[in-house]
Amino acid sequence: MMARLLPHPALSVVLLLLWLLLNNTLNPGHILLGGALGVIIPACMRNFVMPVPKVKQRIGLMRFTVRVLVDIVMANFHVAKLVLGPTRRLSPAFVEIPVSITDDFVLTVLTSVVSLTPGTVSADVSDDRRRILVHTLDAPDPDALVAEIKTRYEAPLLEIFECSTT
Amino acid sequence: MPIWIEVAVSLFLLFGSLFALVGAIGLFRLPDFFTRLHGPTKATTLGVGAIVLGSMIFFSSRGDGLSLHELLIMVFLFITAPVSAHMLAKAAMQQRLPRVDRTRGEPWE
């Protein structure tokens, strides 16, 4: 019964929190309405929701989030420097990165993180999900970039989420 | 409103505007489509982030309780910005847009 009413409990809680944040209130009426939305919306979207793998290490996830946020701030300064400096010295590149993440959700997280951090935008994912194509604003050494993304973002993601590596 | 809150809010607003400006300058100065993608997707996340922080401090200090709905702006921006950048890059590769000569590596067809 519970499983049928709430197929995705975490999603329901997120929707409730979202509703309360949108209205900027803790009014009981809004809590009730948000709770109702948390039940109705997942029920309607049952077939579209992407399965999210279990989080194995909560502390690891928190540490990863903080690292990404810090990296985003640093990336902004770095990109600002590149943008305002002489653009003729930039060496942009398309870099292929082999990935060992097989889960679609985790792969989405990885590409999003890559897009949000230092001068890199993920441009494509190969059909077999084994490589991603990244465009970098300034990469004097593409191999170092591949190594950095693999150790800094991919390895922790593989540890945090319960997913098979191939 | 205490003076130090006013100072903090103004600093955040200035800082945010500065980064939004850098994003716009990047859009104008960088040589090709792919490099231009970097300006708006990066510099603006911090620009909007700082402005949102300033707004949170300002409205929270007016005594109507904590103002947190600005956080949603950040959350949605962080979820959607990479997706739109990814789609733009993909479309640009399909259109075979010109790229600066010194770009190394090949885009996929």
pLDDT in tens, B28-75: 888 888 888 887 777 678 888 899 999 988 888 887 777 778 888 888
A27 and A98 together in one domain: no
- Alpha-helical runs (H) found in A85-150: 104-116, 142-149
pLDDT in tens, A137-153: 887 788 888 888 888 88
A90 touches chain B (CB under 8 A): yes
Q: CA separation (Å) from A109 to A104, A116, B91? A: 9, 10, 21
pLDDT in tens, A121-131: 888 888 888 88
Domain assignment present for A68: yes
pLDDT of residue A160: 86
Predicted-assembly ipTM surpassing the 0.85 threshold: no
A145 and A63 together in one domain: yes
Residue ranges of A 94-123 with Cβ closer than 8 A to chain B: 94-96, 111-112, 114-116, 119, 121-123
Residue A75, burial from CB neighbour count under 10 angstroms (0-12, 13-18, 19+)? buried
A13 touches chain B (CB under 8 A): no
Domain assignment present for A85: yes
A146 and A80 together in one domain: yes
> Are B29 and A87 spatial neighbours (Cβ–Cβ below 8 Å)?
yes
Q: Which residue of B15, B42, B46 is the best one to mutate when testing the A interface, meaning the one whose CB has the most A CBs within 10 A?
A: B42
A65 and A147 together in one domain: yes
The pLDDT mean for chain A works out to: 83
Domain assignment present for A165: no
Domain of residue A93, residue span:
58-160
pLDDT in tens, A46-86: 777 777 777 888 888 899 999 988 988 888 888 888 888 88
Domain assignment present for A124: yes
Q: Assign 3-state DSSP to chain B and report helix, strand, coil percentages, each to 5.
A: 70, 0, 25
| Nearest CA-CA distance, residue B54 and chain A, Å | 16
A84 and A19 together in one domain: no
A83 and A153 together in one domain: yes
Question: What band does B17 get if pLDDT is binned at 50, 70 and 90?
Answer: very high
Cα–Cα distance for residue pair A74/A80, rounded to 1 Å: 10
B62 touches chain A (CB under 8 A): no
Domain count, chain A: 2
A134 and A68 together in one domain: yes
Domain assignment present for A49: no
User: Burial letters for A108-134: b for 16+ Cβ neighbours within 10 Å, e otherwise?
Assistant: bbbbbbbbbbbbbbbbbbeeeeeebbb
Cα–Cα distance for residue pair A88/A18, rounded to 1 Å: 45
Domain assignment present for A50: no
* Contact list, B69 vs chain A (CB under 8 Å): 21-24
CA angle A75, A76, A81 (to 5 degrees): 95
Domain assignment present for A108: yes
pTM passes above 0.90: no
Q: CA separation (Å) from A142 to A80, A109, A111? A: 21, 22, 17
* Contact list, B45 vs chain A (CB under 8 Å): 72, 76, 116
Q: Quote the crossing angle between the two packed helices A58-84 and B44-60, to the nearest 10°.
A: 110
Shortest CB distance from A24 goes to which of B25, B31, B67?
B67
A74 and A126 together in one domain: yes
Main-chain phi, psi angles of A140, to 5 degrees: -65, -30
Residue ranges of B 13-42 with Cβ closer than 8 A to chain A: 19, 22, 25-26, 29-32, 34-35, 37-39, 41-42
A113 and A88 together in one domain: yes
Domain assignment present for A65: yes
pLDDT of residue B14: 94
CATH of the domain at A128: 3.30.70
Residue that is written with structure tokens 């300058």 in the block: B25
